[in-house]
Amino acid sequence: MPKQPATPAQMFSEMEDLRARLDEAEQTLRAIRSGEVDALVVEGPEGDQIFTLVGAEHGYRILVETMTEGAVTLRDNGVIYYCNTRLATMLKMPLEKIIGLRLQQFISPPQVSAFKTLLGNSDQERRGEFLFVASDGMAWPVLVSMTPLPGEAAGTVCAVLTDLRQQKHAETLEKMVLLRTTQLREKIGELEAFSYSLSHDMRQPLRAMQGFSQILLNDYSECMAPEPKDFILRIKTAANRLDRLIDDVLTYSHATCGENELTAISLSAIVREVVQCYQNLRKAEIEIAPGIALVLGYEVGLTQCISNLLTNAVKFVPAGKTPKIKIWWELRGEFVRLWIQDNGIGIAPRDQKTIFEMFSRVYSNEDYEGTGIGLSIVAKSVEKMGGQLGVESELGKGSCFWIDLQKVIVTGEA
């Protein structure tokens, strides 16, 4: 039977139904765009089906919630209608209590006006630094970066809040380091000026003492009574000792403030050069291991270290005994260890911890002449070269000093 054409009343009813569906679809689209719904129910042949909108933004929500910065969405009046858990932690308030508040409530009052100005520039990306105050009254610096949100109500922005406490702490430390570096340079300058005074101004009267005492001894020694002659000898000896002390202090000053850049130098070449050039070492029997050792150091400082250790090895030997010295090096991890062994008087265990200190002396000046600075110069130079040193010794059985320096090349190890 053929289908009957629809009556005008039926056609009008169908048009009203279509108009209602169209209105519903438009409302649904507006709700989706504005974020007012999280899911849609769609009728179909298999019944109603639910399509969630969460999946599309799920990854973004996870990203925002796991950020180390605070994230917040604001209206143009500063009202918060979304924030992540990080911001709640920063403000020390429950998340649900933050929504609906104005962000400027958490900003230090003197800076609220500047924040409102920043918020008002809603058509562009902008940023500003503000002092935020948490619910417990603690204040901390925050960098606020704002970005307009397209498709939202006019003036709506997304803001990222970066805690600047660590950065400010680092800046404070950097300023302190810079200040202390400047102060240290000033102290070094003062020390260098003092060194200049030692080497020039103070030595002039000292040279006069040495010169006049020597003239008296040369020209008037035969007609002098024993006692005044002894006095003049003491003056000369004291002046000579003071002269050596000034030399050692200047050397120590150079070891403290001198070269800064480590370079590759031949440890083995310096050892052989010192042995050949220093006249006071010629009376000793010295055995040097074969091979080559390149280390990182300062040539002047390392030469001073080796000469001081070898000079001590020759000096601290019982009278009538020929000094015997053995020198070798070996690889120890990332370091080269230089050994200098002697057959001298040795060092008691209680003194081995203090011999590298300034003006430390184990024996009196009457027994073994010295200023007590030689080993402290060695210690300071080795420290500046990034190394270590020590001693193994036993009274009456000699000593074995060692220095560890950063290696470059080692061949022919002993």
pLDDT at 151 over 60: yes
* CATH among 3.40.1080.10, 3.30.565.10, 3.30.365.10, 3.10.310.40 for 261-411: 3.30.565.10
pLDDT surpasses 50 at 51: no
> H/E element holding 369?
none
Mean pLDDT of the chain: 80
pLDDT given for residue 242 in this prediction: 75
- How do 126-133 and 139-148 pair as beta strands? antiparallel
Q: Where are the domains of the chain?
A: 30-66, 68-163, 175-257, 261-411
The SS3 call for residue 298 is coil
Span 5-30, average pLDDT: 66
Per CATH, domain 175-257 is 1.10.155: no
The pLDDT of residue 258: 59
**Whether the model pTM is above 0.75:** no
Distance CA 13, CA 17 (A): 6
Task: Check residue 364 and give its pLDDT.
Answer: 61
Task: Please tell me which residue, 214 or 200, carries the higher pLDDT value.
Answer: 214
Give the mean model confidence (pLDDT) for residues 244-272.
Answer: 75
- Give the pLDDT confidence score for residue 6 in this predicted structure: 63
* pLDDT of 34 above 50: no
Q: Band of the pLDDT at 43, cuts 50, 70, 90?
A: low
Q: What does the block give as tokens for 358?
A: 């300034």
pLDDT at 53: 45
Tell whether the torsion through CA atoms of 29, 31, 37 and 40 is positive or negative: negative
The single-letter code of the amino acid at 59 is G
* Phi, psi for residue 287 in degrees, rounded to 5: -115, 125
Asked if the model's pLDDT at residue 190 lies above 90, the reply is no
Structure-model confidence comparison of residues 198 and 300, the more confident one: 300
Say yes or no to pLDDT of 159 above 70: yes
Distance CA 355, CA 362 (A): 7
Residue 411, C-beta contacts closer than 8 angstroms, at least 6 positions apart: 291, 292, 293
pLDDT at 320 over 70: yes
CA–CA distance from 223 to each of 81, 209, 213, 236, 237 (Å)? Answer: 109, 20, 15, 18, 21
Q: Residue 288 above 60 pLDDT?
A: yes
CB 163, CB 90: distance < 8 Å: yes
Q: Say whether pLDDT at 394 is over 80.
A: yes
Q: How far is the C-alpha of 331 from the C-alpha of 173, rounded, in Å? A: 39
Which pLDDT score, from 0 to 100, does residue 200 have? Answer: 66
pLDDT-based confidence at 414, cuts 50/70/90? very low
Confidence check: pLDDT of 55 > 50: no
Higher pLDDT, 71 or 243: 71
CATH number for region 68-163: 3.30.450.20
| Residue 170: predicted pLDDT | 86
**Structure-token pair, residue 116:** 């409102």
Give percent of the chain with pLDDT exceeding 90.
Answer: 22
Is the pLDDT at 166 greater than 50? The verdict is yes
If you average pLDDT over residues 376-393, what whole number do you get? 90
On the question of pLDDT at 240 being above 90, the answer is: no
The mean pLDDT of 66-83, rounded to a whole number, is: 85
Sign of the torsion formed by the C-alpha atoms of 49, 50, 56 and 58: negative
Assign residue 12 a region (left: φ > 0; alpha: ψ between -120 and 50; beta: otherwise).
alpha
Quick one: average pLDDT of 138-155?
Answer: 83
Per-residue pLDDT at 338 exceeds 90? yes
Pick from 36-50, 154-168, 263-277, 384-398: least confident = 36-50
Give me the pLDDT at residue 50, please: 45
pLDDT at position 26: 60
Among candidates 278, 289, 245, which has minimal Cα distance to 413?
289
